[in-house]
Amino acid sequence: MTTQTVTGLKGKHLLGIADLSAEEIGLILETAEAMKEVGARPIKKVPTLRGKTVINLFFEASTRTRTSFEVAEKRLSADTLNIAASTSSVVKGETLVDTALNLEAMAPDMIVMRHASSGACHLLARVCKSRIINAGDGMHEHPTQALLDAFTIREHKGRIGGLKIAIIGDLLHSRVLRSNLLLLGKLGAEVWVAAPPTLMPPDVERFGVHSTTSIDEAVRDADVVMMLRIQLERMQGNFFPSLREYFTVFGMTEERMRRAKPDVIIMHPGPMNRGVEIASEVADGPYSVILNQVANGVAVRMAVLFLLSGASEGDQL
């Protein structure tokens, strides 16, 4: 890896981790450290994005991502608008492009979008002048989730390169997996993925990861275990016999966690299916950093908004 210094993001948008260099990822994570410090102050607000307008356009359900973007925007003093597809003219048949162009007519600076279709954010970036931030597009990417995951790993382990990271669950339908594989590969982690054969993406090894159908092999001596949700809403057909059997073979239990390193951390992007991919004792137990991930989502999203806004390095935080 080169040790080139970067002071900004070369792209105008954040559409995926695929477009970021390792240096740009490092810059976002370092900027997020400063943003986390803002969030620890008695008055958690800086004027950096005063006068900027950000629209949060969510065509799919979200708790963590939508809320943390809004908190991040407010902490940076941006003017924010939240639009859910269910209360917009999308329900009357308006297209994505027409919706975006009409919102653009009100001159926002940035649009944060979640959409069920892979590539929807790329489409918006082609037709809009605003900066587009991908908050999850279909089964393609969820870049800010991977960035906050990396921030959380670095916070607990001090590094990412050389760590054994096991990612387990419904890999086939996961945009979080793809963004994490791209990011962790760029930062030099040793990544293991585990899933039943029916939920394993056929081309996963092209990301340079080890794949297995044995959860125990993936977890053995792991520094980090990341569990992914069974995405029933994206499944057509039967991918496993029953949720109970899935938990028996692929659910994370305390007993299975004991195969990992003693200082392992357990992560989950949420929402969790307790008793399906993860036991409550693990989700709420001493290894869990799941709520730290949520807290760090605000700082990381502040960093992304800041770096894409055109605010300069010297701007006061």
Of 11, 39, 185, 270, the residue at the interface with ligand CP (CB under 6 A) is 270
For ligand CP, how many residues bind (rule: CB under 6 A)? 9
156 is catalytic: no
CB of 176 to ligand CP, least distance (A): 7
Q: Does 82 contact ligand CP by CB under 6 A?
A: no
**Segment near ligand CP (CB under 6 A); pick from 26-34, 158-166, 264-272, 278-286:** 264-272
Q: Does 64 contact ligand CP by CB under 6 A?
A: yes
Copy the structure tokens of residue 108. 């926002």
Of 269, 290, 301, 308, the residue at the interface with ligand CP (CB under 6 A) is 269
CB of 143 to ligand CP, least distance (A): 11
50 is catalytic: no
Q: Does 309 contact ligand CP by CB under 6 A?
A: no
CB of 229 to ligand CP, least distance (A): 9
Annotated catalytic residue, options 114, 131, 229, 268: 114
65 is catalytic: yes
The contact mask relative to ligand CP for 107-136 (x = CB under 6 A, - = no) is -----------------------------x
Annotated catalytic residue, options 53, 64, 210, 274: 64
**Segment near ligand CP (CB under 6 A); pick from 32-40, 63-71, 179-187, 194-202:** 63-71
Q: Which residues are catalytic?
A: 64-65, 92, 114, 142
Instruction: By CB under 6 A, name the binding residues for ligand CP.
Output: 62-65, 136, 145, 269-271
